[in-house]
Every structure is written in structure tokens, then in C-alpha cells.
Amino acid sequence: MQEHQWPGEWLRGVLSLCVLSVVAEHETYGYAVAQRLQEAGLGVVKGGTLYPVLARLEQDGLLVSSWREGDGGPGRKFFAVTAAGRVALVERARDWTTFAERAVGLLGLTGAGLP
């Protein structure tokens, strides 16, 4: 599978929302989130990019974290979505989708060659 590296500034715009949505699926930990994002075709998200996003989401009360025993390794930090997180996810996903649709709409109008 060809690994596409998207422009950093695009990913920066939507990463927090995507991370929140992945954690909202079910409780998970950092490395698993990165794998999920990669599976979804968003490219490789390094720890140095991912963990600050998780930290910010937690600080804003949208996630909570807890350390659990790993399988024979050091503990893993698990993240779970909060009620406030679910509310924020719905709102932001809706807003993001509207925004993206408008951008695509403009590209269509201005002859960017979109179908």
C-alpha cells in the first residue's frame, strides 16, 4: 500500500478532531490511535505530534486517562472520551464537514478541475 504523506498543515487542522473520534470509538492508547489513523489513510502520525494533542484534549476535559498494566511490558496510558468529549465531537465533526464541503465547492467553482 502506497503510504501517502499529507501536507502537515492539513493534518494539523483536523488531527485533534480525528484523535477525539478514534478515542470515542472505544478506550485506547497512544500507539493504537496512531495505527488507527494510519489505517484510515491519514499517514504516519509520530508520537511527538500525537501525545501533545492527547494532552490538550485531556486538559480540555474531553478525554480522561489512566495507566494500566501492559502485557509483560511497561504500563500503557489508556484514554477514554468524556460526556463533554462526545458533545464536542459531534459539534466539531459537523462544523468540519461543512467547512470541507465549502472548500471543495469553491474548488469546483474556480475550475480546479474537480469533477
Partner 1 sequence: MNEGPAIEGPGGTYGRELLLALRLREVPSPRIAEALAEVDSHVTETGEDPVAAFGPPHEYAHELARALGVRRRQEFTTVAGVTGTVSCGLGGWLLADGVHALGAGTDAVLGLAGWAAALIGLVLLAYGALGVVRLTRRDGGARVTDPRTGADLRPPVPRWVPFALVGVPLVALVVSFGLGLLQRA
Q: Work out how close the CB of 50 gets to partner 1 at its nearest, in angstroms, rounded to a whole number.
A: 9
By C-beta, is 9 or 113 nearer to partner 1?
Answer: 9
Report how far residue 45's alpha carbon sits from residue 23's, in angstroms, rounded to the nearest whole number: 15
**Residues 63, 80: contact at Cβ < 8 Å?**
yes
DSSP H/E element including 6: none
Residues 39-68 that bind partner 1 (CB under 8 A): 46-49, 51-53, 55-56, 59, 67
The burial class, CB within 10 Å (0-12 / 13-18 / 19+), for 95 is exposed
- CA 106 vs. chain centroid, Å, equals 25
Q: Which is nearer to partner 1, 76 or 92 (CB)?
A: 76
**Nearer to partner 1 by C-beta: 69 or 115?**
69
Interacting residues with partner 1 (CB under 8 A) = 30-31, 46-49, 51-53, 55-56, 59, 67, 70, 73-77
